[in-house]
Chains A and B, each alone.
Chain A
Amino acid sequence: MVENSKGLSDQLWRVFSSMKLGLALLGIIALVAGIGTLIPQADMNPEKAKAVGQLWQTLGFTHLYNTIWFRLLLGLLCINLIVCSIQRLRGIYHRTFKLTPPAKLVQVPHKNRLEVLGEPAPLQAALLEVLKQKGYRVTLSDLSDTWSFIAIKHRLGNWGSVITHLSFVVLVIGALLGSVLGFKGYFMENAGNTIPIQEIQLSKGTVSETFSVRINSAEDRILPDGERDNWYTDLSILENGQEVARKTLSVNHPFMYKGITFYQASYSDGARFTADMNGKKIPVVLQDQVQSYFQAPGTDLYLVTMADPNSSAQKPSVLYQVYKGNGADPIQSGKLTSGQTIDVQGSYKLTLEGLVGFTGLQVKKDPGVAVIWLGCVLLLGGLLLAFYWQPVVISGILQSENGNQGTLTLGVFSGKVTVSTHEALEHLVSSITKKLR
């Protein structure tokens, strides 16, 4: 039984240490991700996603990137990467820090070789000097009968691929942290309102914090040349009714409080009214959008408003429409300027108090973001090491016939790039011969 399970774990290890499996997983992930761009996804295009066949919805094709099996693929890739990296650590360590000089001529790489002739002593001196000049770290042999060496430049480049691979695991951990411990929500409120953080509309996670957010002002600022400068929200954080923080945020300039970040996401104009129903005054705030309406209590009259393109700062105005029941056409419409009062179907009187901005804020808590940035740094660092800092390993052995004429055979280890490592070797040799002359 014990032997059996050992065999199984060995087998699993072998499966997961295979680069073929890794590449297959990467290919499948790319394919699945591509399919996800062809099928409408629920969080971007909810209406179209609902129209997709039920079977596909159940299988998760309309929320592909959140499905268990997509995460499973990422998880398998992570295991694969970890196993692969562990497997290779020893080898990389030895190739970086424990290089052994060749003991025999055959151990000098033979694909890329050059020979230099000369008297042994000056030859050695010139070689060592040139190697040092060019930034190589040299290890000499401690064998008594032959003189040989191995030299390495850019040795940290060896670690590039391991760092790259593990950074991917870090990225996945960061994403996981965010989705387990974080939340994401959105609210749209007009200036002057206060909303408890617990009551915002969430699309992911749950909120454990208890403070409130007050919108002091919301503004759509236009530059003199007519271009939009930005949307600005002046916001206060209230703990038990006390203001503890205040900040003006705008698009690309978020605000963070206790690990929760507020992002300016959208903006909409709106207006404040007073509805007077037989002396009872009701404050009404409407946003310039279809979903925002006022139904006067006890009636089936619906009021909606729109921004008036001719509205001015001195005399703000809005356009309004009144619908009755399910009627498709408005039964009353017109323009209302600030301070003006109209009669709505004999049911109530409506006064425009002024315009008001609505700010749409994205609210997010994601404790994984720091881990994500760490992963990004590792990923980039690893790639720079792997591609912009490639190690060059040169080794050689000196053989002399009678003590005053020797042959130095140099070889360069060429992994993936034969031509340029050969160039490095040629440069080395030409420098040595220059020194000897």
Chain B
Amino acid sequence: MLENLETALFYILLMTCTLCMLFYWIWLGTKKELVGRLATYLTILAVLVNTAAIILRMITSGHPPLSNGYEFLLTFCLGIMAVYLFAEFRYKLRSLGAFVMPIPCLLLMFIIMSMGPEERIAQAVPPALKSQWLTFHVITAMFAYGAFAVSFGLGIMYLLKASQEDNQNKLSPQGIVARFPSLEILDELAYKVVGFAFPLLTLCIITGAIWANYAWGTYWSWDPKETWSLITWIIYAGYLHARLMYGWKGRRAAWLAVFGFAAVLFTFFGVNYFLPGLHSYA
């Protein structure tokens, strides 16, 4: 019964997500206030539905959402949308939605295409996963990765706008991109979002280490998942420092934000699907 409700919520989430992505795109093209508002409302709805789906899953399975890739992806989507919504309200930046919302959309599509129903059902967790530290681990990962997705969107916007300003004469000044905030604001926002997420990613790695020390007696064992989260961490550390060095603001920083998010995705997908791992939990 509850399981069926959860499945229904998943499809509602997918639809809401797709719709609001489309509305953000239409809004970007037309600037109709009504469409933009609808897009924002739909995002709020998507966040609610996503939260409900995760809570239902936790009730039916009795543990935090980390026993398989499906549960982790749902949490990831929630993180992205929640951080995005915050950014939209805080900085009045609706155009960002057109670049961020496709990410949860694609993730949900990925679930539909690559995971059969039997891969999505709640699974028993092995004894090693029964630890409070893992709850913190998941929560910090959710917000950190969500924020990195937002900084990715900002990076893309920066690069689009910067390349348009280079060929200014070719494009009309009324173009979509011209309505983006100024390059300086985009750059600074991306920096702030990464600055918000970096301590969280650090906390995520630390709670993972504490848990591993309880479970296996080693706080760090260089397994591919750990190593790739460290690489992600180093890329973002590079991003933060690059901005402090002369000439590394702007375009190069934006590229780093894009690369950083690619590393985030690889930490999840690449490690699970391409690399032989020790523990292949989410």
- B-binding residues in A (CB < 8 A): 19-20, 22-23, 26-27, 29-30, 33-34, 36-38, 40-41, 44-45, 48, 65, 175, 184, 226-231, 250-254, 261, 263-265, 362-364, 369, 372-373, 376, 379-380, 383-384, 386-388, 416-420
Complex Cα gap A400–B228 (Å)? 61
Task: Select one of A22, A27, A251, A419 contacting B215, CB under 8 A.
Answer: A251
A263 touches B215 (CB 8 A): yes
Contacting residues, chain A, for B228 (C-beta < 8 A): 34, 37
Task: Select one of A230, A379, A417 contacting B130, CB under 8 A.
Answer: A230
With A23-B241, A376-B209, A380-B199 in contact, do A416 and B191 touch (Cβ < 8 Å)?
A: yes
Residue in B closest to A227 when the chains form the complex, CB atoms: B124
A33 touches B184 (CB 8 A): no
A33 touches B231 (CB 8 A): yes
Contacting residues, chain A, for B245 (C-beta < 8 A): 19-20, 23
Chain A proximity mask over B249-282: 1 for CB below 8 Å, otherwise 0: 0000000000000000000000100011010000
Query: Min CB distance, A88 to chain B, in Å?
Result: 12
With A45-B276, A263-B217, A376-B209 in contact, do A252 and B130 touch (Cβ < 8 Å)?
A: yes
Q: In the A-B complex, list the 6 residue pairs whose CB atoms are closest, starting with the nearest.
A: A251-B127, A383-B199, A263-B217, A37-B224, A387-B195, A30-B234
Q: Residue B185 at the A interface, CB < 8 A?
A: yes
Contacting residues, chain A, for B219 (C-beta < 8 A): 369, 372
Residue in A closest to B266 when the chains form the complex, CB atoms: A34
Contacting residues, chain B, for A363 (C-beta < 8 A): 217
Chain A proximity mask over B79-98: 1 for CB below 8 Å, otherwise 0: 00000000000000000000
Q: Residue B227 at the A interface, CB < 8 A?
A: yes
Contacting residues, chain B, for A362 (C-beta < 8 A): 216-217
A33 touches B202 (CB 8 A): no
Task: Select one of A19, A37, A264, A364 contacting B241, CB under 8 A.
Answer: A19
Contacting residues, chain B, for A380 (C-beta < 8 A): 199, 202-203, 206
Contacting residues, chain A, for B214 (C-beta < 8 A): 252-254, 263
Task: Select one of B192, B244, B275 contacting A417, CB under 8 A.
Answer: B192
Query: Min CB distance, B257 to chain A, in Å?
Result: 15
Complex Cα gap A35–B270 (Å)? 14
With A30-B234, A184-B217, A250-B127 in contact, do A37 and B227 touch (Cβ < 8 Å)?
A: yes
- A-binding residues in B (CB < 8 A): 124, 126-128, 130-131, 184-185, 188, 191-192, 195-196, 198-199, 202-203, 206, 209-211, 213-220, 222-224, 227-228, 230-231, 234-235, 237-238, 241-245, 271, 275-276, 278
Residue in B closest to A383 when the chains form the complex, CB atoms: B199
Task: Select one of A227, A254, A383 contacting B198, CB under 8 A.
Answer: A383
Contacting residues, chain B, for A27 (C-beta < 8 A): 234, 238
B199 touches A416 (CB 8 A): no
- Pairs A–B under 8 Å by Cβ, sample size 20: A20-B245, A30-B230, A37-B228, A44-B223, A45-B276, A65-B222, A229-B127, A231-B127, A251-B126, A251-B128, A252-B127, A254-B217, A263-B216, A364-B217, A364-B218, A380-B202, A380-B203, A380-B206, A383-B198, A386-B195
Residue in B closest to A251 when the chains form the complex, CB atoms: B127
Contacting residues, chain A, for B127 (C-beta < 8 A): 228-231, 250-252, 264
B217 touches A34 (CB 8 A): no
B230 touches A419 (CB 8 A): no
Query: Min CB distance, A165 to chain B, in Å?
Result: 11
A44 touches B278 (CB 8 A): yes
Contacting residues, chain A, for B211 (C-beta < 8 A): 252
A376 touches B206 (CB 8 A): yes
Contacting residues, chain B, for A228 (C-beta < 8 A): 124, 126-127
Contacting residues, chain B, for A263 (C-beta < 8 A): 214-217
Complex Cα gap A22–B243 (Å)? 14
Contacting residues, chain B, for A227 (C-beta < 8 A): 124
Residue in B closest to A263 when the chains form the complex, CB atoms: B217
B216 touches A30 (CB 8 A): no
Query: Min CB distance, B83 to chain A, in Å?
Result: 15
Contacting residues, chain A, for B244 (C-beta < 8 A): 19, 416
Looking at A22, A364, A376, which has the most chain B CB atoms within 10 Å of its CB? A376
Contacting residues, chain A, for B192 (C-beta < 8 A): 417, 420
Query: Min CB distance, B24 to chain A, in Å?
Result: 23
Contacting residues, chain A, for B238 (C-beta < 8 A): 23, 26-27
Query: Min CB distance, B231 to chain A, in Å?
Result: 5
Query: Min CB distance, A206 to chain B, in Å?
Result: 17
Complex Cα gap A22–B238 (Å)? 10
Contacting residues, chain A, for B227 (C-beta < 8 A): 33-34, 36-37
> Assuming A252-B215, A362-B217, A373-B210, what are 18 further A-B pairs, CB within 8 angstroms?
A19-B245, A23-B238, A33-B227, A44-B223, A44-B278, A175-B220, A226-B124, A228-B126, A231-B127, A254-B214, A263-B216, A364-B217, A379-B202, A380-B203, A383-B198, A384-B199, A387-B196, A416-B243
Contacting residues, chain B, for A369 (C-beta < 8 A): 213, 219
Contacting residues, chain A, for B242 (C-beta < 8 A): 23
